[in-house]
Amino acid sequence: MRRRPDGDRGQVTIEFLGMAPLIILTLVLMWQAVLVGYAYTLAGNAADEGVRAGTAAARGERFGVCQQAALRHLSGAWRGGASVRHCDGTGYVTADVDLEVPVLFPGSIDFPVTVHGHAGAVEEVKR
């Protein structure tokens, strides 16, 4: 029995079609991991900016200034699921920012997972 030289014709196409869903799933999972890491980066940066503004503000207006500064450094899609808490302290000012992790891109459905950013700084003394 003799085999034709082009007997495997189309095999690469069939293998690619079989692997395509696995390749796409792997890329989606990698992108989601990038979004989780980016959410941690944004939460930490927003907390830093809030503390920076809060240490320079007077004690009575600290929370409002801290919250506005923290939220100002988030884009609109990320700001929707953000919350700022604990923008206070005496001597040592702290801020906590919570962000919801989106599914595939910001502004879409959010995972039931929240990432936390925390920052603190010594209060500035005005003389």
C-alpha to C-alpha distance for 87 and 96, rounded to whole angstroms: 7
pLDDT digits (tens, 9 = 90+) for 71-107: 888 888 777 778 888 777 677 888 889 888 888 877 7
The more confidently predicted of residues 107 and 113 is 113
All structural domains of the chain with their residue ranges: 11-122
Who contacts 72 (Cβ-Cβ below 8 Å, separation ≥6)?
49
For residue 24, the model assigns a pLDDT of 93
Instruction: Say if residue 8's pLDDT is above 70.
Output: no
pLDDT digits (tens, 9 = 90+) for 18-51: 889 999 999 999 998 998 898 899 999 998 888 8
Label residue 53 left, alpha or beta by phi (over 0 means left) and psi (-120 to 50 means alpha).
alpha
For residue 26, the model assigns a pLDDT of 94
Q: Which residue has the tokens 């979004």?
A: 35
Instruction: Say if residue 120's pLDDT is above 70.
Output: yes
For residue 2, the model assigns a pLDDT of 64
pTM of the model: 0.75
Task: Report residue 13's pLDDT band, with 50, 70 and 90 as the boundaries.
Answer: confident
